[in-house]
Amino acid sequence: MESGETSVYGASLAGGSFDFVKFIKQPQTILRVLSWVFSIVVFATITAEGYVNPPNHSQVVCVFNKNDGACHYGVGIGIIGFLACVGFLMVDIYLPMMSNAQERKRVVTADLVFSAAWTFLWFVCFCVLANQWANTVDVNGIPTDAVHAIIAFSFFSIATWGALTYLALMRFRQGVGEVSQNYGESAPDQTSSQYPTSYVPPDHNSTYPQPPFVTKQEPMGDSDYQPPAY
């Protein structure tokens, strides 16, 4: 960012053009792409190899201890995380062109809240899948490599989404500090006023004309009034 420009929430307040090289080198972009890939691996692997048809079952069951809820949870978290990564990548492209500080604040806040929520949900997903796999007794016909990949990439997703949460928090704090600093610099000086004071020195001679037909009042103590003699 060029010196002398006012920046808010990680971009120039005046707005600017999109720099592709700078964009792909940002840690936030790299983490979003990694999270996007990890989400694809989890939900695609569960969809393709997360269900088997045991000999004593007429329908397919989830490989994680025959718990369909575990598979559905992993697929749901993966698909929503995949779509969110695409959406936030588009927002990151558009963010430098935003000139409204309040719009940027809403975007950064949404990024922070969603990233924190998905860090927690991926942690829950990892714990559930690992626990259900540990309790699985019959592993015949189950592609164990696929199961291990699902659990591993669920764990990797915790790290990437946690890092995204940290970056979003840093950008939010930086933006709040920059807004406060810019407001302080642009605030008018309240110590001096452009309006003249109404205080008049005691020795000041007023130049305002006296109103007409005003009689001069004399003090009561100097009056020449004499009471009538009867």
CA 208 to CA 202: how far, in whole Å? 16
**Cα 5 from Cα 1, distance rounded (Å):** 8
- Phi/psi for 174 (5° steps) reads -65, -40
Report CA-CA distances (Å) from 11 to 2, 40, 50, 104, 175: 10, 30, 43, 9, 9
pLDDT tens per residue across span 124-152: 999 999 999 999 998 888 999 999 999 99
Token pair, residue 220, equals 């009561």
DSSP state, 198? Answer: -
Q: Which uninterrupted H or E stretch holds 34?
A: helix 27-49
- SS3 for 12? strand
Please list the ranges in the chain whose pLDDT falls under 70: 1-17, 176-230
Q: Are strands 7-8 and 51-52 parallel, antiparallel or unpaired?
A: unpaired
Tens of pLDDT, residue by residue over 5-22, are 445 555 555 455 678 888
Query: In whole angstroms, what is the distance from residue 110 CA to residue 53 CA?
Result: 42
What's the pLDDT score for residue 203?
56
3-state secondary structure 60-77: CEECCCCCHHHHHHHHHH
What pLDDT score does 125 carry? 98
What confidence score (pLDDT) does residue 4 get? 45
